[in-house]
Amino acid sequence: MKISVQAVVLSGGAGTRLWPFSREAYPKQFLSLTGDKSLFQETVYRIVSTDVQSSPLELLSPLVVCNEMHRFLVAEQLRQMGLDGSAILLEPIGKNTAPAVTLAALRAVEDKHDPVLVILPSDHHVENISEFQTRMSKAVELAAKGDIVTFGIVAQKPETGFGYIRRGPETGDGVFVLDGFTEKPDVETAAHYLASGHYFWNSGIFVIRAGTWLEQIGRYRPAILDACKAALSASKNDGDFIRVDREAFAQCPSDSIDYAVMENLTAETDGGPRATVLSLDVGWSDLGSWPALSEVKPRDDHGNVTIGDVFLKDTRNSLLYSQSRFLAAVGMQDVVVIETTDAVLVAHKDKAQDVKAITEHLKKAARSEHMFHAKVHRPWGDYESIDNGSRYQVKRLTIKPGATLSLQMHHHRAEHWIVVKGTARVTRGEDTFLLTENESTYIPLGIKHRLENPGTIPLEIIEVQSGSYLGEDDIVRFEDRYHRLESQ
């Protein structure tokens, strides 16, 4: 009999330590940092590409838990993989990993199944996918028998940016009794962990039957289980998404998988499920900082990693990333230089973990660079700010074939649209008409309007806004294909 397996992808992170490439509205898990696929897509692929023809595994459609802001990114990236039928649970408020997994487990057992959940952060990188899948299959077999399993990464160095797992006796084939978790250590403590041979890096990956998780979370943190039951029972389907009830979920305590359940199991003496840790040596990285990214990229003879239009002279052990301009470095060593269209980061590698301080500064200063890139993605395509000044703003809009913006109006701005490429169908008040390349129209302030791409190629528009206020919150939606009326 085959074991049903369901990937649960946790995709709520902001990736602030990879700023300015990672922004809150488009964080690192949705970026293609190590190959053609995004980290999110790589995570899903590691499970769905598992060869189950001769194995006892039956793969179910992935289940993704994400926040409101990233829902269209998740849906689009799953669609690109041919997995647009997957369930997407929207957390109205971030409550850490234990409530997220509880929501997923409750959803997984709705159809009277009790699948093994493979719980994965969405932003990790794995070099040896085949070996990962082999170890994952082993973990699934253990979980199907009742174990709660986590993966321990074989530590390569005394890393202070990770939590650690303490292992107990080995039961065979790189499987150990789980003895406990420790927080991120200082350098001296991390070196002691490495020398002892009894510690792994904490991967944050767990494998567990849905029913087993619900039993244990109900045993140790019943308030989490009760709040998640109430929130999911009051949820609403919204297109591709399952909207968890905000009011009920707000009552849920915040806690991690480690603290809510796993730490309790290590001290268990009355016959509860066994907590085990599997060793994992697959070229794993959480890509939690710019130096971590440089470690998985090809280097030149001087230890440099360069991406984009970069020139180096007398430079060593550095990471230089150019997104839009020519970038040159002379006489540098151990530095990180990241260039995007609207921001530049220069940091010593030893201080790269402190990048989060920049995003905190931007938030306090009420700036937008911590949240958005210059190019902002929308379910219909994207827009990019080209220029702005007092009472005006110029944007480049790209609308996907067949896509439609909402029927909307603005209280404080008028808009001019010029078609650069493709054909646009424009609704302006009571009129609907087509515009082709080099044609334009004017949308007065307060007039209902809509922009559509009826063609088979992307539609490119230059939009010139003018008015007393040009913020994105000056939008009143009347109809929307992407169900943004309620969420607005």
What is the residue-averaged pLDDT of the chain? 90
Q: What is the pLDDT of residue 193?
A: 86
Q: What is the pLDDT of residue 186?
A: 86
Question: To which H or E segment does residue 60 belong?
Answer: none
The pairing of strands 305-307 and 116-121 is unpaired
Residue 56, CA distances (Å) to 53, 207, 255, 276, 398 in order: 8, 16, 33, 21, 46
Cβ neighbour number for residue 199 with a 10 Å cutoff:
22
The pairing of strands 375-378 and 476-479 is unpaired
In sequence order, what E strands does 38-115 have? Answer: 57-59, 63-67, 87-91
Say whether the peptide bond before residue 20 is cis (omega within 30 degrees of 0).
Answer: yes
Question: What whole-number percentage of the chain has pLDDT above 90?
Answer: 59
Q: CB within 8 A of 156, min separation 6: which ones?
A: none
Decide if domain 3-285 falls under CATH 2.160.10.10. Answer: no
Q: What is the pLDDT of residue 397?
A: 96
Q: What share of the chain is helix, strand, coil (3-state, %, to 5)?
A: 25, 35, 40
Q: What is the pLDDT of residue 487?
A: 44
- Using N-to-C axis directions, what is the helix angle for 210-220 and 222-233, rounded to 10°? 120
Cα–Cα distance, 357 to 360 (Å, whole number): 5
Q: What is the pLDDT of residue 54?
A: 56
Q: What is the pLDDT of residue 488?
A: 45
- The one-character DSSP state at 402 is T
Q: Where in the chain is the domain with CATH 3.90.550.10?
A: 3-285
Residues 10-47: tens digit of each pLDDT: 998 777 889 999 998 899 999 998 888 999 999 999 98
- Total residues found in the chain within this entry: 488
Q: Where in the chain is the domain with CATH 2.60.120.10?
A: 375-479
Residue 155 CA from chain centroid, whole number: 24
Regions of the chain short of the pLDDT cut 50: 487-488
State the pTM of this model: 0.87
Residue type, 340: T
Q: What is the pLDDT of residue 304?
A: 96
Residues 160-205: tens digit of each pLDDT: 888 898 888 888 888 888 888 888 888 888 888 888 888 899 899 9
- The one-character DSSP state at 49 is T
Main-chain phi, psi angles of 348, to 5 degrees: -75, 145
Residues 54-103: tens digit of each pLDDT: 567 788 889 999 998 888 899 889 989 988 777 899 999 989 999 999 99
Cα–Cα distance, 451 to 440 (Å, whole number): 12
CATH number at 375-479 = 2.60.120.10
Cβ neighbour number for residue 239 with a 10 Å cutoff:
15
Residue type, 350: D
